[in-house]
Every structure is written in C-alpha cells, then in structure tokens.
Chains A and B, each alone.
Chain A
C-alpha cells in the first residue's frame, strides 16, 4: 500500500502503484456491499463537501453515498454561476466552505484546472469530480476497476474508447490510468473529435469503427453532445450514428466476449442502441455500483495517508 497524496486532481500524474492501491482498497470496500449493514465508519467526524459548479446528480449522489457509508458528514453545495458573476471567485466560495469546517471538498467545474486552482488556495483535500474537458479521475478509476474485475487484469487488455474524445474528461482519465497499467488503448471517432497528440502519448488512433473495435476486449463508449454538431465538428447525429453508433450490426465486428461500458448518462439510440445498452455484454449498471466503492477508497486514502 502506498498512497501519500493530499488531493486527487488527475490520473496523469499518479504512479501505477498509487492507482493499484486505490483499486485494491476499492475491492475491499466493495466486499462490504454484500452486508446488511454497509457502513464502514472510518471517516466519522470528518466533513465532506460536494461543491458542484456544474450539475451532475449521478456523480454527486455517488460521492454522497460513498462519504456517508464511511460515516462522514456530507454537505451539498451547488454554486450557481450567478453568485460568481457578482464578483465572487471560486476561491472565495471554497474558502467560505472551508471556514465552515470542511476536510474534503469534491469539485465539479466546467473549466479545466479549476480543482487545481483550489488545491493551491485551500487547506482541505480536493477531489476533482470532473473539470471541463480535462479529467474525471474517479470515473477513470471506476472504469478500470470494472475492467480489472471482469477481465482479470489490465496488462495487455485491448480497450477501444469511442466518441467525442477531444472534449472528454472520461477519455483522458481512462487513457492515463490504462496506459500506466499496461493496457493497449485505441481511440475511435471522427477525425474532428480525436486529439492527434494522443498517438504520441501511446494510444492507437482509428477513424473506422470496424477496424477500431475488431481486437477490443473492452469498448468504452462516450456520450456524444449535440453542441459539437453546431460547431461543425460532425454533420449530424444521423451521420454519427451511421459511422460510429454501436448497434446490432456493428457489434458483430467485435469479439463475442467484448465488454461494453458507458460512463452515462447514455444517449440511447445515438452512440449505443437500447438493445446493447441493456444486453448481456453491457456492464453499465455494474459501473455505477463500482463508482461508490472507488469513491469510498479515494475518500479513505486521502484522509488516511499511507493507508494508515
């Protein structure tokens, strides 16, 4: 066990050992889920604050359940952008919360680097719950946890990530974590939505869905946003579905035992058909359960340096 970080801001700068420590700790917490009494009171007396500048009920709820199972007091703070427009900065907001006695602040913000900024300015531990297009480390960790649990190991695993990769924090956290643990990552999507630089970082890039998923053990689908169509990054949702949608036909290009993942919320009928999302290859609900275990592990490790 080795984990001495004060904050969890990104997976890019974590070591393989640190990531494995989080995964192993999460596995232990997951075992407690079978019990009738699910509480593991290791954070009693600590205050965990969800500071969300951007709405996300599912991520906020997942953190809330994780913190409560550890016995922490949880406070949800939805910062409206209106208070910020009155000249209050996010640093002011975080300091206000800290003055009320927070130990851990979980931050969701639309600007990349916002949690990093707060980490420099406040005393509490900061967990990045998604910063714009940059990273979403707990999502990356829960995805990798799910892959490891289902496929046995990450080393040598072929993972295809499909969708709007340029604007995806989930992609970035997946890529850094997977590469550190020895997976082979293929990025699949239209040329306008795949950041070429990731080839240099060690990913394979593929603009054809058929080629991109042929070898995959795991397919991780990302949500496609309508906004990108307005920016002329692809012509229409219709064409996106034709070229990159995962449906009864395109799934036949993949291996029979391929595992289908999606961070949610799913655009049913767009990046993935209803049938496949709810079918036997999909582990989408499993991911949600694992999310709680990962977030418990992260909260625990940040509050107990070196796993003490």
Chain B
C-alpha cells in the first residue's frame, strides 16, 4: 500500500480541539500517524508548509442530476467538482428524473459511484413515492440498500400527517428526515424573496414566513414522534429563531445553511440576474445576519452547498422562467472563508467544524469529519493566501451557473485526499482513482 506524508501544515481538527503545525502520515486508506514531526520516508510527500490541513469536507446537499439530466451533471462530474472543492464525502439528493425512491434506484447510484466517482458518494432517498407527497416510500428497504437519509428536496412535504409518519417511521432506522421547508400556498408563483428588490423589479416575491410556518409545524411533529428533523437550506431570521428555541427544548432537530445565503442577499438579483435565482431565495440583510449568528452559536449545525447545476440555456431565460439554483461545491469553502472568516465575523475553527464534524455528527458518521490514527484518510489541504476571482474556466462541474462570478476569494482547496488517494491536486482531478466508496 502507498504511503503519503503531509508535512508541516497547520492542522485544524475541531472535533479533537486540535490546531497546531503537524505532519500526517497516511498508509493505504487510513491515517497512520499525526505528530509534530514524522521522520519517515513515504511514497509521496506533500509540502504543506503555510497551508491549512483539515479533515475531509462533507456536503450534505448535492444535486448530481443523474439519472435523467446528465447534460447538467453526473455522479462522475459532480464528484470531480466535490474533490476540487475539498469535499471527500457528499450526499446526493433524490430529486432526479426519475426520483430515487426504490431500492434499485439506490443501488444504481452506488453502482455508478463505485465506477466513476473520485469522492465518497452517499445518497438520500425520497420521502414520498415519485416526490408526489402522497405515499411514503419503503424506508426500511431503502436503508438496507444504502440510503442514509430521506428527503423530497426540491419540494416540501406539505401534508402534516405524512411528515408525522415519516419522522415516526424513519426513527426506527436512525436516519434523518431532511425537509425543504416551504409552504407552497404562500410561495405559489413567486420567484424571489418578497422585499425591496422584488418591489423594484416587479417580480413576485415570497415571504420568509413561508419557510417559518413549515419549520414551526415540523418541530412540533419531531417533538411528538422523536424523529430526527433536519432543516435544509435555512434562509430566514425567524427560521433560525424557531430552530434555536426547538433545540433548547430538546427536540431532535438539526439544520444547515448554504454559502450563498450566508454570503449574499436579495441585492444579488439586481438587473434580473438569474444566476442569483434560487429556492429558498436570497433574502434580506437582516436574514443574512441571523444566519451568521445561527452558524456561530451552533443553531445551524452545518454548511451545505445545495449544489444545483443548470444549463446556460436555461439560465438565459427570462427571470420568471429560469430554473432555481446555483452550483456551489467548488466555491463553498473559499466563499465562506473570505466573506465571514477573513472579515472577522466567524472563527476559522467554527467554519471548519460546520463543514466537517458538524455534518458527520448530524449523519451519525462516527469516523468522519475528524482526523485520528486508524481513521479513514480523508484529508483536505487548503491555501488560505492565494486570492483568485471566480471564473467558469476552473470549474469541473458540467454546469457553470455560479452566483459568485466576479467575486474574489481566498481559501481555495489545494489537495483533496479520499481514502488515502489523491483525488485532486495542482488544479487537476486524478481520474485514475475510482471506487472509493
């Protein structure tokens, strides 16, 4: 087995309260040693002096678009984008065409991932058959096939009774129910946040309350059933407050925010910018501040990208007709690092926690999101100093719909190691490594 020595980097591992210059020795698929100075030879030596070394990043919301929309993304290209973004484990959303709602669909994703992916790909399965919001899927069988979470993401579970049963039944298997919280009656026909920008642009906007009312309901259902409610892509202030209060009450609720909601506001839509059209929409400055507070105090357990690839042709439709979503895997760490950590709003340690130990804890992945001897060799090396503007020519994602064009970021991933193999380094994907899951 090959050995890799990562030498002289600043190792930050929030799960172990570790922050010091150290060497890491990888042997095969596991970490062999973490020490101030490791004086052994290795097949490959990475000079990490001046670089940041963290546990491999984890993203719990990625739209890989396979099967059905392979012109936007595939498991393979999505995994390349993940590796380039420093992610070693990603969770695929089941709103593909057709949706992932049977055992065979789950097997299919793992089959493709084993052949093509350069990072660890996990999949969630649908809560309701065909994402129709009517009949729950075979949770037990889907878990057996490898589904690690359930969600109808893209759509909310609108029916309270179905959400109740989903939380109740899935709690037998210790898997979270991921909710895209949106009251469809309040959001019907609306394409952005209801605020000053929508008033100016004459675009129908929907209020933050559309998110909060579903969260308020789901928190009660989680309290009643003991199920694990995970709130996806929280966008609004009241949502953060409801989740904070629920956590204080001891309800089993966890939550996430996206880099774009943490970094941008409705202002980004100015000029009918379809690249800033997403759902939930970019909201007000007040909402953005509340998300930052929530991320800091742990109300929001993790950062997830909601990486949502779309073709250029679709994004060049008039605003109302353009699809929702931005790609996010390759800009996640740099965007939040630059906008929040560099400006002193967030501690570096907290940012890393929310992208490593945080998601691992939510998923119950005990050996992920941290560095320890004998543990899996998923390691990310990041360059905090080099500043670079976001441009489309560096993206590995098959789609180029980023909301961050023109922004200058630091904190670009340098090397991504998955199960002891270098998946990404020197701006290139190591296509030879396959079958890491």
Contact = CB atoms under 8 A, between A and B. Distances in A.
A111 interface: yes
Contacts of B264: none
A117 B320 contact: no
B203 A112 contact: yes
B201 A134 contact: yes
Contacts of A114: 318
Contacts of B320: 111-112, 132
B107 interface: no
A268 B318 CA distance: 34
A100 B196 CA distance: 40
A112 B196 contact: no
A98 to B, nearest CB: 16
B3 to A, nearest CB: 53
Mostly, the B contact residues are loop
A111 B318 contact: yes
B195 interface: yes
B428 interface: no
B426 interface: no
A63 B145 CA distance: 64
B316 interface: yes
Q: How large is the interface on B (under 10, 10 to 19, 20 to 34, 35 or more residues)?
A: 10 to 19
Nearest to A90: B318
B319 A198 contact: no
Nearest to A112: B202
B57 to A, nearest CB: 35
Interface in B183-217: 195-196, 199-204
A89 interface: yes
Interface string A174-197: 000000000000000000000111
Given A89-B313, A117-B272, A112 B199 contact: no
Given A111-B321, A112-B272, A197-B196, A117 B202 contact: no
Given A112-B319, A113-B318, A116-B272, A133 B203 contact: yes
Contacts of A90: 317-318
A117 B203 contact: no
A132 B204 CA distance: 10
B271 interface: yes
A117 B201 contact: no
A223 interface: no
Nearest to B318: A111
Interface string A195-238: 11110110000000000000000000000000000000000000
Contact of B318 (A12, A117, A195, A198): A117
Contacts of A133: 202-204
Interface string A99-129: 0000000000101111011000100000000
Q: Specify which of B195, B202, B319 lies most central, judged by the most chain A CB atoms within 10 Å of its CB.
A: B202
A135 interface: yes
B319 A200 contact: no
Contacts of B201: 112-113, 134
A193 to B, nearest CB: 12
B316 A111 contact: no
B200 A169 contact: no
A90 B200 CA distance: 23
A195 B195 CA distance: 9
Interface string B316-334: 1111110000000000000
A200 to B, nearest CB: 6
Given A89-B313, A89-B317, A132-B320, A113 B272 contact: yes
Q: Which of B200, B318, B321 has the most CB of A within 10 A?
A: B318
A73 to B, nearest CB: 28
A172 interface: yes
A133 B202 CA distance: 5
A112 B322 CA distance: 12
Nearest to B196: A197
Given A116-B271, A116-B272, A195 B316 contact: no
Contacts of A197: 195-196, 199-200
A91 B202 contact: no
Contact of A117 (B196, B200, B204, B316): B316
Q: Which of B201, B204, B316, B321 has the most CB of A within 10 A?
A: B201
B262 to A, nearest CB: 24
A1 to B, nearest CB: 27
A118 to B, nearest CB: 9
Contact of B200 (A12, A89, A111, A167): A12
A64 B126 CA distance: 55
9 contacts: A89-B316, A111-B319, A112-B201, A113-B272, A116-B271, A131-B202, A172-B200, A172-B202, A198-B199
The 7 closest A-B pairs by CB, nearest first: A113-B272, A133-B202, A111-B318, A134-B202, A197-B199, A195-B199, A114-B318
Given A111-B319, A112-B320, 16 more contacts: A89-B316, A90-B318, A111-B318, A111-B321, A112-B201, A112-B318, A112-B319, A113-B203, A113-B272, A113-B318, A117-B272, A131-B202, A132-B202, A133-B202, A134-B202, A134-B203
